[in-house]
């Protein structure tokens, strides 16, 4: 039996299912590991990584392992994801090169209207009202996604996938620095309900200290029921009615969630978005996510430049990258939304001819005065862009199994601790605030407006890269709201153009254009970057450190896998 380093930790993940209560997770040395033969896992928490590794060691597929990681992260990283939210999974076949994508995005209640986030006078509701209430909660999709993917690609029994998460929730897990800080920063949200306060906060109202042990028996019971009865324990008539009643009771206006919204939920197979980048095939998620399109657009627009010659320390490289971002995001805002509700010109947006036209707008020596949306083939006209709630949450994980099949899975509850509503041991998402807050601008309809049964646009960008021989060479994704496509494109360039190891590619400087404003992460920026960007015409530059988090697996020449974890997580996962 293959033994993974993370499985040396007593985390109640032994194949016998025995429980353990002591945890001494190794905090260093889990990155840059080189695995051969039996696959590899990378996630935002070693305990979730260990859950996935346990499935691989038991003979499970990459899909099995990814589901186990998602469930374990629900326990140890409740601020970011879980079964109260949704996600997107990309599965790549290691032999045929076929890529399949699963859409587990949350849906608006059938009775939701385009004015969901407006008051009687047509003004946008206060943030607390629209975010920290049932108004923001979409029907969760992660479990439906997991069940659909497992039915198609699972090798282990469904119940087996829940064992690590059940053990963590039942027997307890240790509060690390990252969870403690997130609980402290999210007071008023994470502690919105008495049930959540009783688990994560002390009698003094403060978050439990680093090193404390947390048990979530309600979540263990929820997982046990779903493990035994399948997704019907969540989407069946009785649990659906209970969930809908709870959410509806917390919803101050507009269409309230009904039991039928939950029972009717369906995870969907979607066409992946695949595009060429140099000799590689880069595949990502299509609508309702904008991530795959944005990544493909950025890379396609940059392909004519010799990025390898410029290198990651060159202000000119970052200038080119910024200009490509501005063009891609202009298109994203105007054209991308749930393709079940409107036509999204996916093929036109990633068409090489269209991207060549867009690339021609990029000058190595100056900025584009105003980055406007283009008109790709098949583009619908008379659409507008509108305001949206900033995204912050999410987690990502990647798995490759012994057969070379790969899974890239982004999971989320949207903001930290979602809506703050806590149900049967887990937080419910605030994903509906990813819809545009206003239904029209200047008399034109907004693509990403609220509609009953619709899925809000996402930035999630799970990605799989194949080489010219059809072999998976990189599995990557990120968390961090609208920064996700930029993080992913940056990592791909880091590996393919700069020849960097996975972790160094994930740790590259973060430089992103938000309209005409450029955000530069100060701790990672090379000397002279800000001055160099200003000389190239980027006048509005602000130093900031957005919440970033990415994971990757990179194939090595010997066929093994290098594990990459965003170095920004270092120091956040310790228990001291």
User: Which tokens go with 140?
Assistant: 């969760």
Pairing of strands 34-35, 39-42: unpaired
| C-alpha to C-alpha distance for 516 and 539, rounded to whole angstroms | 8
Q: What are phi and psi of 62, to 5 degrees?
A: -60, -35
Q: What angle in degrees, to the nearest 10, is found between the helix axes of 163-171 and 217-229?
A: 160
Catalytic residue among 394, 395, 410, 463: 394
User: Is 394 considered catalytic here?
Assistant: yes
Q: Measure the CA–CA gap between 498 and 510, rounded to whole angstroms.
A: 16
How many CB atoms sit inside 10 A of residue 164's CB?
28
Q: Are 350 and 358 in contact (CB under 8 A)?
A: no
Q: For the chain, first and last CA: distance in Å?
A: 33
Buried b (16+ CB within 10 A) or exposed e, 50-61: bbbbbbbbbebb
Does residue 388 contact residue 514 with C-beta atoms inside 8 Å?
no
Q: Indicate the angle between helix axes 291-302 and 352-359, nearest 10 degrees.
A: 60
User: In this structure, what token pair is assigned to residue 337?
Assistant: 């939304």
Answer whether 373's CB lies under 8 Å from 326's CB. Answer: no
Give me the count of residues in the chain.
576
Nearest to 66, CA basis, from 84, 87, 85: 87
Which of 527, 546, 545, 534 is CA-nearest to residue 319? 534
Cβ distance 417 to 132 under 8 Å? no
C-alpha 504/C-alpha 71 separation (Å) is: 28
217: number of Cβ within 10 Å:
12
Catalytic center residues: 394
């Amino acid at each position: 039996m293959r033994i993974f380093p993370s499985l040396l930790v007593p985390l109640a993940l032994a194949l016998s299912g025995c429980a353990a209560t002591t945890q001494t997770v190794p905090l260093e040395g889990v990155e840059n590991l080189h695995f051969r033969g039996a696959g590899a896992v990378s996630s935002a928490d070693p305990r979730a990584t260990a859950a996935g590794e346990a499935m691989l060691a038991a003979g499970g597929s990459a899909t099995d392992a990814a589901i186990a990681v998602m469930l374990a992260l629900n326990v140890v990283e409740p601020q970011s994801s879980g079964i109260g939210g949704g996600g997107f999974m990309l599965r790549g076949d290691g032999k045929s090169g076929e890529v399949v994508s699963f859409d587990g995005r949350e849906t608006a209640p059938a009775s939701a209207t385009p004015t969901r986030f407006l008051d009687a006078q047509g003004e946008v509701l206060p943030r607390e009202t629209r975010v920290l209430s049932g108004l923001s909660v979409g029907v969760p999709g992660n479990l439906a996604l997991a069940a659909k993917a497992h039915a198609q690609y699972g090798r282990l029994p469904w119940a087996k996938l829940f064992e690590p998460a059940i053990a963590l929730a039942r027997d307890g897990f240790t509060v690390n620095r990252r969870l403690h800080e997130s609980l402290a920063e999210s007071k008023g949200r994470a502690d919105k309900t008495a049930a959540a306060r009783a688990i994560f906060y002390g009698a003094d109202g403060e978050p439990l200290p680093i090193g404390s042990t947390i048990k979530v028996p309600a979540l263990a019971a929820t997982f046990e029921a779903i493990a035994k009865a399948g997704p019907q324990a969540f989407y069946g008539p009785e649990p659906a009615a209970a969930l809908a009643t709870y959410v509806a009771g917390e919803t101050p206006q507009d269409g309230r969630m009904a039991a039928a919204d939950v029972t009717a939920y369906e995870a969907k197979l979607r066409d992946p978005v695949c595009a060429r980048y140099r000799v590689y095939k880069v595949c990502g998620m299509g609508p309702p996510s904008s991530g795959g399109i944005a990544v493909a657009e950025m890379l396609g627009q940059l392909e004519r430049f010799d990025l390898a010659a410029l290198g990651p320390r060159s202000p000119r490289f970052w200038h080119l990258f910024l200009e490509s971002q501005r063009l891609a995001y202009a298109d994203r805002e105007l054209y991308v939304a749930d393709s079940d509700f409107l036509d999204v010109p996916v093929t036109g947006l990633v068409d090489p001819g269209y991207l060549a036209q867009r690339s021609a707008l990029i000058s190595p020596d100056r900025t584009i005065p105003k980055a406007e949306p283009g008109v790709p083939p098949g583009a619908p006209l008379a659409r507008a862009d509108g305001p949206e709630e900033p995204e912050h949450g999410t987690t990502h994980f990647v798995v490759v199994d012994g057969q070379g099949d790969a899974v890239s899975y982004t999971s989320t509850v949207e903001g930290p601790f979602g809506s703050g509503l806590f149900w049967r041991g887990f937080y419910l998402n605030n994903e509906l605030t990813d819809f545009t807050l206003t239904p029209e601008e200047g008399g034109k309809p907004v693509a990403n407006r609220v509609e009953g049964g619709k899925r809000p646009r996402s930035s999630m960008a799970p990605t799989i890269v194949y080489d010219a021989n059809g072999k998976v060479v990189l599995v990557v994704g990120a968390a961090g709201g609208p920064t996700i496509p930029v993080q992913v494109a940056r990592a791909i360039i880091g590996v393919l153009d700069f020849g960097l190891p996975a972790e160094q590619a994930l740790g590259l400087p973060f430089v992103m254009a938000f309209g005409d404003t450029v955000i530069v992460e100060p701790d990672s920026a090379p000397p002279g970057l800000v001055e160099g960007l200003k000389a190239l015409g980027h006048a509005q530059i602000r130093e900031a450190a957005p919440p970033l988090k990415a994971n990757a697996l990179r194939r090595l020449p010997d066929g093994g896998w290098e594990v990459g974890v965003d170095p920004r997580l270092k120091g956040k996962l310790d228990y001291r």
